[in-house]
């Protein structure tokens, strides 16, 4: 019996004298081992406020950021390559242009905190600390307007790009907490009276609601609500996990080491 090869569009293997050809069986592509972890975002993801910084630009905490603490809790045996691209001061466009390059089809885990710097929240906070009740309220109102008008579209585009570059990843969008104790609670805290606290926390609520709403539209994305994590431990409480006016002004109104540990503990529980 003699083997013959016949090409008819696709290559078919036939036995000489046989009228039917057996199709070539293609093997399934090998599954991608997606275990790499990439942390993206701004100062809250970098660990500003936790101390022990690796540099003076991005101010990544080497051992207190929630990404690093999550890696420690998860264990390196469960992960592949780990990369923290988060950088203090980052906005959505920064993440898009400078951080997403770390994502691949081997990325299995992504954490992301970004959006606060895009809406003028820092300016509002400065007015609430240094300005009057009126300038505080107006500045926070302006920031909230930007959150509702500009942020949804920008976040939606970012999340779509994250999914395109990391198709196999579970993505955890980690939110922002209330920065200060609610009105009537906590302790005296410089110029942050009840009216200013109310304005700031209302803006934090708007920010969280905008982010969580966009997250819900993206399969495989999970929102982690930091307001719940930090409840009772905001700045101006007896046991704060957020710096108020810090000696290092850049750390003001960022989590301290206890705050980042709380972030990581909840994140570890959510991710398993």
**CA 35 to the chain's CA centroid:** 18
Residue 61, SS3? strand
User: 133-149 and 121-130 helices cross at what angle (nearest 10)?
Assistant: 170
Q: Are 218 and 160 in contact (CB under 8 A)?
A: yes
Catalytic residue among 178, 233, 243, 254: 254
Residues 6+ apart with CB under 8 A from 18: none
> For 171, which DSSP code?
E
Q: Are 42 and 86 in contact (CB under 8 A)?
A: yes
- DSSP annotation string for 64-125: TSHHHHHHHHH-GGG-S-EEE---TT--HHHIIIIIGGG--TTEEEEEEE--GGGTTHHHHH
* 43 among known catalytic residues: yes
Catalytic residue among 16, 27, 43, 144: 43
Q: How many CB atoms are closer than 10 A to CB 111?
A: 26
Q: Are 86 and 46 in contact (CB under 8 A)?
A: yes
Give buried/exposed letters for 242-255 (b at 16+ CB in 10 A, else e): bbbeeeeeebbbbb
How far apart, in whole angstroms, are the C-alpha atoms of residue 63 and residue 51?
A: 8
Residues with catalytic function: 43, 254
């Amino acid at each position: 019996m003699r083997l013959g090869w016949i090409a008819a569009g696709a290559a078919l293997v036939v036995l000489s004298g046989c009228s039917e050809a057996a199709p070539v069986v293609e093997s399934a592509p090998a599954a991608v081992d997606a275990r790499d972890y990439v942390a993206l975002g701004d100062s809250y993801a970098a660990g500003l406020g936790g101390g022990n910084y690796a540099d003076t630009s991005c101010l990544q905490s080497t051992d207190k950021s929630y990404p690093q603490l999550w890696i420690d809790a998860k264990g390196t045996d469960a992960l592949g390559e780990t990369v923290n691209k988060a950088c203090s001061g980052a906005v959505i466009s920064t993440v898009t242009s400078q951080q997403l390059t770390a994502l691949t089809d081997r990325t299995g885990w992504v954490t992301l905190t970004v959006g606060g710097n895009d809406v003028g929240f820092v300016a509002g906070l400065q007015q609430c600390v240094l300005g009057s009740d009126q300038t505080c309220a107006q500045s926070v109102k302006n920031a909230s307007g930007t959150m509702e008008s500009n942020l949804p579209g920008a976040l939606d585009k970012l999340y779509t790009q994250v999914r395109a570059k990391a198709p196999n990843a579970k993505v955890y969008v980690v939110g922002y907490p209330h920065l200060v104790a609610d009105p009537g609670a906590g302790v005296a805290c410089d110029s942050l009276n009840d009216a200013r606290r109310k304005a700031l926390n209302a803006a934090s609520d708007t920010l969280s609601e905008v982010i969580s709403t966009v997250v819900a539209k993206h399969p495989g994305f999970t929102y982690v609500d930091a307001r719940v994590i930090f409840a009772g431990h905001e700045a101006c409480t007896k046991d704060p996990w957020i710096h108020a006016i810090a000696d290092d002004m850049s750390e003001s109104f960022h989590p301290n080491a206890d705050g980042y540990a709380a972030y990581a503990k909840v994140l570890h529980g959510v991710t398993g």
